[in-house]
Amino acid sequence: MDIFECIQKRYSYRGSYVNTPVPREDLEKIIKAGLAAPSGCNKQTTSLIGLDDQQTLDSITSLIKKNGFGGKTAPAGICILTQQIPGYADVYFNIQDYSAAIENMLLAITALGYASCWIEGQITESAETQKQIATLLNLPADYIVVGFLPIGIPEKEGKRPSYKLFSQRAWYNIYGTSK
């Protein structure tokens, strides 16, 4: 599939997953896609932990408290970590860095025939949840858990969002014009 088809095909899957393991080779491809993302001032503030151990996955998903969170049945996942390293002066790019890494991984997940959902708020809204996941993963103190991607084959086709018209969100040269 070409990149444009992959972008259009990607969506946030919140359902249950088929009980089929994700091969370690596929998990590594997805992680490498994330690590290849651009990074502000090349500080490379994003780190990733691939998860394919069911006990660890169960422990992490039980800490992510949200009704309807389908990631509980995912056979694999990736924890997204960040470090707050200044790019220059007191300017930090870690949020942009991990966001770019997540999008790269979501596209790689789609290209490989899997589904996922960017889970961040259920983790970052609670310092306690972040701390518990960090402890579970034995993280050094300067790493912050900011996200989780469940990965697997979807049990059923998920619901794709509808999008506003191009003319409502994008313009050429001047706001509100199509010229």
Counting as low any pLDDT under 70, the low residues of the chain are: 66-68, 70
Write the CB contacts of 91 (distance below 8 Å, at least 6 apart in sequence).
none
Confirm whether 168 is domain-assigned. Answer: no
pLDDT given for residue 69 in this prediction: 73
Confirm whether 164 is domain-assigned. Answer: no
pLDDT given for residue 68 in this prediction: 62
* Total number of domains constituting the chain: 1
Burial-class residue 19 by CB neighbours within 10 Å (0-12, 13-18, 19+): exposed
The CATH number of the domain where 13 resides is what? 3.40.109.10
Confirm whether 166 is domain-assigned. Answer: no
Confirm whether 169 is domain-assigned. Answer: no
Confirm whether 162 is domain-assigned. Answer: no
Q: Which domain holds residue 143?
A: 3-154
pLDDT given for residue 67 in this prediction: 58
Q: To which H or E segment does residue 21 belong? A: none
pLDDT given for residue 94 in this prediction: 95
pLDDT given for residue 161 in this prediction: 85
Confirm whether 176 is domain-assigned. Answer: no
Confirm whether 81 is domain-assigned. Answer: yes
For residue 104, count other CB atoms closer than 10 A to its CB.
19
Nearest one of 114, 95, 88 to 11, comparing CA atoms: 114
